[in-house]
């Protein structure tokens, strides 16, 4: 029986293993290989022993009878992304899919955030996704096929405290994905986003666990496993998802979401000579106010225990 991803070459960034808790990228790489894909495992991490985390995942795939190669290039640089895609071509002869999963947290309340903390987050969480997708795009275009899955976040889609850099990058990723979907549609290349909910090494290292609110957040997140993200991601990479592009999904334990896109929800019109500041205050603000979105964090919207 043919496996779902048999014959496909998939790059998974941020897919290193061996760090105790499993990561989303690690689980996706393992699942893609189990489904027949040849996997390029990308990660910069190293364990205390000096072993590459990318090699840990690669070895696990090979031990299970799969095919994989480790690549330690940085997605945050143009040349690193170029070498990553070339690694797929040199090793397996083609590229069929990219999972832009690599990410970092540099949380800080906005008025204390440094330029370095901003730039580093944007360079990995947004620019890194552009770099890898851009390097894969000519190959996808030439073969008239390809799939890209970007990992966004409810922090960007909804909002979160102390994450201006991360929120901006993850919301920017939604715009990038839609632009790729539109530009590459004629070449049968698709681009989608997933907001994953999972307890991962990045969350453990980067999310505070001091206040009662923090601890309540941890209690919910700890019940969400990174393994839950992999099946849906692999389904999007398959030929059976060839007509799905430009969408935003969420995966939270055994729940799968489809997010809406920003569209006008109320309109106000004025005859000539148009609006004045005073008439906006008198008419528009009161008209729109019942439809304003509350200032919420992700946990306010996803407040129930995961199924």
Report d(CA 42, CA 291) in Å as an integer.
44
Query: Does this model's pTM top 0.75?
Result: yes
Which CATH class name applies to 9-258?
alpha beta
Active site residue 257: no
Q: Which tokens in the block code for residue 267?
A: 């309109």
> Is 70 exceeded by the pLDDT of residue 230?
yes
- Please check whether residue 16 is in contact with residue 40, taking contact to mean a CB–CB distance below 8 angstroms: no
Q: Which is nearest to 133 in space by CA: 61, 168, 181, 67?
A: 181
Higher pLDDT, 89 or 208: 89
Look at residue 103 and give its three-state secondary structure. Answer: coil
Query: Across all residues in the chain, what is the average pLDDT?
Result: 92
The string of pLDDT tens digits covering residues 151-206 is 999 999 999 889 999 999 999 999 999 999 999 999 999 999 999 987 666 666 65
Residues 133 and 78: beta-carbon distance below 8 Å: no
Per-residue pLDDT tens digits for 42-59: 999 999 899 999 999 999
Is the torsion defined by CA of 157, 159, 162, 165 positive or negative? positive
**Dihedral pair phi/psi, residue 83, rounded to 5°:** -70, -35
Q: 111 vs 58, 82, 117, 158, 207, CA distance in Å?
A: 41, 36, 12, 20, 18
> What does the pLDDT average to over 243-260?
95
Does the pLDDT of residue 125 top 50, yes or no? yes
Determine what percent of the chain is predicted with pLDDT higher than 70.
Answer: 92
Secondary structure (3-state) at 90: helix
Catalytic residue among 130, 166, 197, 249: 166
Arithmetic mean of pLDDT, 266-275:
94
**Residue 198, phi then psi, degrees to nearest 5:** -165, 150
The pLDDT of residue 1:
44
* Residues constituting the chain: 307
Residue-wise pLDDT for 71-80, tens only, equals 999 999 999 9
Banded model confidence at residue 208, pLDDT cuts 50, 70, 90:
low
- Please compute the mean of the pLDDT values over residues 216-227 and round it to a whole number: 73
Q: Helix %, strand %, coil % for the chain, to 5?
A: 50, 15, 35
Q: Tell me the per-residue pLDDT of 27-36, one tens digit each, with 9 for 90 and over.
A: 999 999 999 9
């Amino acid at each position: 029986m043919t496996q779902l991803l048999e014959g496909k070459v998939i790059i998974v960034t941020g897919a290193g293993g061996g760090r105790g808790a499993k990561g989303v990228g690690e689980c996706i790489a393992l699942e893609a290989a189990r489904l027949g894909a040849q996997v390029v495992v990308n990660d910069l991490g190293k364990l205390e022993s000096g072993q590459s985390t990318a090699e840990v995942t690669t070895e696990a795939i090979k031990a299970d009878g799969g095919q994989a190669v480790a690549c330690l290039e940085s997605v945050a640089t143009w040349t690193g992304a170029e070498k990553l895609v070339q690694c797929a071509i040199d090793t397996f002869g083609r590229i069929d899919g990219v999972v832009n999963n690599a990410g970092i947290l540099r949380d800080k309340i906005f008025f204390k955030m440094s330029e370095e903390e901003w730039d580093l987050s944007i360079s990995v969480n947004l620019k890194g996704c552009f770099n890898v997708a851009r390097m894969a795009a000519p190959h996808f275009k030439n073969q008239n096929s390809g799939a890209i899955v970007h990992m966004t976040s409810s922090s960007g889609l909804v909002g979160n405290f102390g994450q201006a850099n991360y929120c901006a990058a993850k919301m920017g990723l939604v715009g990038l994905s839609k632009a790729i979907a539109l530009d590459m549609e004629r070449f049968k290349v698709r681009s989608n986003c997933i907001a994953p909910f999972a307890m991962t090494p990045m969350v453990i290292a980067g999310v505070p666990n001091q206040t009662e609110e923090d601890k309540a957040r941890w209690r919910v997140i700890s019940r969400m496993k990174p393994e839950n993200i992999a099946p849906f991601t692999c389904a999007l990479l398959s030929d059976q998802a060839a007509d799905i592009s430009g969408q935003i999904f969420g995966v939270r334990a055994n729940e799968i979401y489809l997010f809406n896109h920003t569209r006008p929800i109320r309109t106000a019109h004025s005859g000539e000579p148009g609006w004045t500041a005073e008439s906006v205050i008198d008419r528009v603000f009161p008209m729109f106010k019942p439809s304003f979105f509350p200032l919420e964090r992700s946990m306010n919207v996803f407040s129930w225990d995961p199924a």
